Chains A and B, each alone.
Chain A
Amino acid sequence: MSVIEFLSFSFVQRALTAGILIAVITAILGTFLVLKRLSLIGDSLSHVALSGVALGLITNTSPIFVAVPVVMAGSLLVFKITEHTKVYTDSALGIVSACGISFGLIITSLAGGFNVDLMSFLFGSILTVSAWELWLAFTLSAAAFVMIYIFYNDLIAVVFDENFAKTAGVNAKRINTILVLISAVAIVAALKVVGIMLVSAMLIIPPCAALQLATNFKKALLLACSFSVISVIFGIYISFVLNIPSGAAIIILNILILAFCACIKKFLK
C-alpha cells in the first residue's frame, strides 16, 4: 500500500496526530527525568496506571479518566516514601511499582480476568484511537506543554544543580513535584500509544539517543523529539503494513535510533 493511501484513512490520521503529540511530550519530559536519574519513574507509574485502568474498567467508567488521578497519587507517593523513610528514590519507585501491579491484578481478577479492553491498554492500540481519545491526548499534552514552558528554566536549574537552584530562589520541592505530576499525566496519555508494558521506553530511549549527540540543551530536546516522532510515524506505518503490534514496532525503531546514535558518537570521538 502506498503512503498516500495509508494516510487517507481517518483512523490513521487520528493515530498519527495523537502519536506525534505524545511522542513530543514524552521526549521532552523524558529528557528531564533521565538527567534527574528518575527515568524509571515511567516504569513505576505505568504499573500504577494498571490499577487505574482496571479500576476504570471494573467500575464501567473511563479507564483513562480514572488512571489520571490514580497515577498522580502514585507519583506523589514516591516522594512521600523517600521523604519520610530511609528509602532511596529507586527503591521507592520499585515499591510503588509493585503496589500498582498488585492492586491492578487483584482488581482485574475480581472483574473476571483479562479482557480485550485491558489488553489494549497493556500493549497499546494506537490504530483504534477514537475521536474523543484524540481530544483527551490533546488536552493532556497541552496542559503538560504549558507547565513545561512556564517552568522551563526552573526545571533545568533543579535538574542540573539543586542546591544552586534553591539559592537562586527556585522552590526545588515544588518543581520536582510538578515534574512528576506532569509525567504522570503524560504517562496516562501515552498508554494508548505503546501500552503499559512499554510506556517507560518512550520516556527513556529518545532522550538517551539525543544525549549521545547533543551539544547544548535545546539540541538535546529537539533531537529527542525528532527521534521520538520519527519512531512513532514509521512504527505506525510498519505495524499497519506488516500487521505487527504498533507499540512494539515504535519501541524497536527507537532502540535502532539509539544504537545508531551511539555508533555515531563512537565514530566522532
Chain B
Amino acid sequence: MDTIEVKNLSFSYGAALALENISFAVKQGDFTGVLGPNGGGKTTLIKIVLGLLKAQKGEVKLFGKDINKFDDWVKIGYLEQKNTPSSLMPLTAFEVARLGLLSSKKLPKTFNKTDNETAENIMQTTGCLPYKNKLFYELSGGQQQKVLLARTLINKPSLLILDEPSTALDSASRENFFNLISSLNKQNNITMLLITHDIADIGKYVNNFLILDKNIIFYGSKQKFCGDKKAEEYFGPYTPHLMDHLHADAKSCPFGRHQ
C-alpha cells in the first residue's frame, strides 16, 4: 500500500487550470522534494492531497483510504506555506504547539500533564522552548515557524507534508531543521513531502524529486533525476549548484558537469 496515491487529478480555480492530469504514488519512507516555479501548483496539490481543496477530477488516497473518508489524522503532520492564524488570538507558543495533539483526542478533547510534557519536549527539539510562554503573535516569523513545526511533529506523524518550511529560518536554524527532519526520515521511516525552492538545501537529504508546473515535469529518484532530459532542461541553470550538494551521487550523474 502506498502512503500517497494520486490518480488522474485535475484542478482549476474557477476557469484557471492549476493542475492537469496528475498521477503519482509515494511509498512509506520516501523523502520527496517537490520543486517547481511560483504558481506551478505545488501548494494546490498538497491541499488536495490533504482534502483541504476538492479536485474536480481524479482521486486521492492516503494510506490506502480515499481522502473523503480518511480520518486517521494523527498520522499526518502538515505545515502550511502561508500561515495566517487569527492575529489577535492570545495563545502562547506552548498552547499553539500543544494544539497539535488534538488529532489524538476524543471528545471532550482536554489536555493533561503528560500532554504538557510532550509539548515541552517537542518544543525543545525544534528550538522554541525558550519562549514557550510568550504570545504567539508577538514572536518573529522564524520563531513562529519553529512553534508551528513543533505543532506539526508532536504526534510523531508517519507522513509529514511541509510547504516551504525553511524560508523564515536563519542559516543555523535551517541546518538544524534539515538535520532534524532527515533523521526523522531515516530513523523512524517517516514519509516526507517537502516543498521548497532551495534545491541546494535539500539535494543531499531527499531521495526523490517531483517537479511540478501544472503537469508533472519529472517524478522519480534522485539518480534518475540526474540523467533526465526534461529535468535537465528544467533545472539547467541550477545544475552546477545542485551537483555540489548531491555529493557522491554527482559522480554518477551525467549532466551538469559537461555544461
Q: Which positions in A face B, CB cutoff 8 Å? A: 35-37, 149-154, 156-157, 159-161, 163-170, 211, 214-217, 219-220
A52 to B74, CA, bound (A): 44
A189 to B1, CA, bound (A): 54
Q: Are A168 and B102 in contact (CB under 8 A)?
A: yes
Does B130 make an interface contact (CB < 8 A)? Answer: no
A169 to B52, CA, bound (A): 12
Interchain nearest-CB distance for A172 vs B (Å)? 10
Q: Is the interface of B mostly helix, strand, loop or mixed?
A: loop
Residues of A contacting B125 with CB < 8 Å? Answer: none
Q: Are B151 and A167 in contact (CB under 8 A)?
A: no
Q: Which of B109-133 contact A (CB under 8 A)?
A: 109-111, 133
Interchain nearest-CB distance for A264 vs B (Å)? 15
Residues of A contacting B96 with CB < 8 Å? Answer: 160
Q: Are B50 and A169 in contact (CB under 8 A)?
A: no
With most chain B CB atoms within 10 A of its CB, the pick from A163, A214, A219 is: A163
Which of B73, B99, B103, B135 makes the CB contact (< 8 A) with A160? B99
Interchain nearest-CB distance for B65 vs A (Å)? 13
Q: Are A153 and B110 in contact (CB under 8 A)?
A: yes
Which of A150, A166, A211, A215 makes the CB contact (< 8 A) with B92? A215
Which of A159, A163, A211, A217 makes the CB contact (< 8 A) with B52? A163
Q: Which positions in B face A, CB cutoff 8 Å? A: 47, 50-52, 71, 73-74, 76, 78, 80, 83, 85-86, 88-92, 95-96, 99-100, 102-103, 105, 107-111, 133, 135, 151
Interchain nearest-CB distance for B77 vs A (Å)? 8
Q: Are A168 and B91 in contact (CB under 8 A)?
A: no
A-B contact pairs, 18 of them (CB 8 A): A149-B108, A152-B110, A153-B102, A154-B109, A156-B91, A157-B99, A159-B89, A160-B91, A160-B96, A161-B85, A164-B99, A166-B51, A168-B100, A168-B103, A169-B73, A169-B74, A216-B90, A220-B90
Which of B73, B91, B100, B108 makes the CB contact (< 8 A) with A217? B91
Interchain nearest-CB distance for A244 vs B (Å)? 33
Residues of A contacting B73 with CB < 8 Å? Answer: 167-169
Which of B76, B86, B109 makes the CB contact (< 8 A) with A161? B86
